[in-house]
Chains A and B, each alone.
Chain A
Amino acid sequence: MKIDIKSEKGMAIAVLKGEIDHHSARSAREQLDSFIINMQPDVLAMDMSGITFMDSSGIGLIMGRQKLMKECGGRLEVHSPQDGIRRVLKLAGIERIVRIT
């Protein structure tokens, strides 16, 4: 999985591409956490339009970043997940804690 993060005036967008599973989630977690801790954005949007596969490891990845963003006084959003990814998000009920657009 590849992540490109752009940030401007407290709004950050992390563009994720590839597949999220237990293997790839580990490095994604490290990269995103490093950015959140160092940059302290008000909002971090995970743009998931380029994610072609995600299992429940992606739920852990999102929940963990949501928790860290909250601890840092910000909030997490999930943008543009593909249909298959939306079904996993819906099963987890993640829309109750994270805004999905």
Chain B
Amino acid sequence: MEILNEIRISMPSLSSNESAARAAVSSFIVQTDPTVEELSDIRTAVSEAVTNAIVHGYRGTSGIIELVIRLLPGREIYIRVKDSGCGITDIKKAMEPLFTTAPEEERSGLGFSVMESFMDRLSVRSKVGQGTTVTMRKKLAAHGS
């Protein structure tokens, strides 16, 4: 994978870091001069992935979340959100709209649906007891289009 630019952030799984993750992705992506909609889509997808790591990955515990943001050739944005939490038993089930394991926190079960809808590609890898890695890509429109 050819990488034109990249930042890596490690942060504790504090809910206050959800906005910090969005701020980081905004700051990085602004160099590509995205549209308002593209920036909004990517910020929302990152917020969902980081929230999932906090609420589900490290549920009742705490740990480190790694966020990697890359600019790839062809104005493509690559995002990776990794936790070392409890992992997902059934990824297919977890990705079903409205499925949630945290209804008491009023989680709507739409996190993965939002990521899928707002990004071009979404991949989820997980091992029970070892953690989850969410990878997303989105190609930005050409300048002037």
**Total count of chain B residues near the partner, CB < 8 A:** 24
Closest A residue by C-beta to B110: A56
Q: Least Cβ distance of A32 to chain B in Å?
A: 12
Closest A residue by C-beta to B48: A55
Which of A29, A84, A92 makes the CB contact (< 8 A) with B108? A92
Contacting pair B55 A55 (CB below 8 A)? no
A88: interface (CB < 8 Å): yes
- Majority secondary structure, A binding face: helix
Contacting pair A91 B111 (CB below 8 A)? no
Contacting pair B51 A22 (CB below 8 A)? yes
Binding site for B on A (CB under 8 A): 19, 21-23, 25-26, 29, 53-57, 59-61, 63-64, 83-84, 87-88, 91-92
14 contacts between A and B (CB under 8 A): A21-B15, A21-B18, A23-B19, A55-B47, A55-B48, A55-B51, A56-B107, A57-B106, A60-B106, A60-B107, A83-B37, A91-B110, A91-B114, A92-B108
Binding site for A on B (CB under 8 A): 15-16, 18-19, 22, 36-37, 40, 43-44, 47-48, 51, 54-55, 105-108, 110-111, 113-114, 117
